Amino acid sequence: MQTVSMHSDGYWLDSDCFSDEQIQDINTAIDNALNDQHCVRNVFLKYPDLITKCVPALRQKVGEEYFCVKAILFQKHPQHNWRVPWHQDLTIQLKAQYAHKSFGPWSVKEHIHCAQAPASLLNQMITTRIHLHDCKIDDGALYVKSGSHCNGITSFKGLDDQNTDNATLITAQSGDVLFMSPLLQHASLDNTGNGSRRILHLEWSQNILPHPLSFNEQY
């Protein structure tokens, strides 16, 4: 992982994490298990065979001190299509809800407690997005605002969701991995082509949460 780029830009695209054979193996496992679902939360809890196919290779890049705390599969294609407005990835998944001045608001997704984390924690976390398909502009590729992670938690009220001025488009080939800060501002538009964009989104932390909070899963 390029530490300088992560620090200054908030992201880095790496093409040297997975071989073609490894990506094919991951895709085959997903094809056999997920039946073309467009969004699968807690994918490692539901399909643990994917853990050994993904986590060891990425841990070599993010560092042995990091552990994976969230896994979501996104598959965007003409039949399952959506745009994502400008946002940051602020929510973590926890085993239970407890009152804590630095965590919240709270919600529940698929029976799992979720809370907005403080910027001090998010600033130490890393998101990895494994591109399991080629991702071009018409596939609904991600836009990012370089350096925006340095501004901390941001309000997007009144911002035009479709405005990509001063943003960088992240196109990628199958097997490329985007490393990014959860605080990096990012968005994506609709898939306007005939292809599919399949992303395995993993979030990593090296922090122990304040008692009694604990991550819902760790790998």
pLDDT average per 10 residues of sequence, the chain (219 residues):
78 96 95 76 92 97 96 83 88 97 96 97 97 91 95 84 86 97 93 83 96 96
Residue 104 lies in a domain: no
Cα gap 51→129, rounded to integer Å: 14
Cβ–Cβ contacts within 10 Å for residue 168, how many?
Answer: 13
Residue 94 lies in a domain: no
3-state secondary structure at position 169: strand
What's 129's domain CATH number?
2.60.120.620
Residue 214 lies in a domain: no
pLDDT score, position 189: 82
Residue 22 lies in a domain: yes
Cβ density class 53-88: b for 16+ within 10 Å, e for less: bbbebbbebbeeebbbbbbbbbbbbeeeeeebebeb
pTM as predicted: 0.94
pLDDT score, position 1: 61
Please give the tally of structural domains in the chain: 1
Q: What is the DSSP letter of 100?
A: B
R_g over Cα of the chain: 17
Residue 46 lies in a domain: yes
Residue 98 lies in a domain: no
Its domain, for residue 29, covers 3-88+122-205
pLDDT score, position 165: 85
pLDDT score, position 159: 72
Residue 99 lies in a domain: no
Residue 31 lies in a domain: yes
Packing angle, helices 49-62 and 20-34, rounded to 10 = 140
Residue whose pair of structure tokens reads 């964009």 in the numeric block: 197
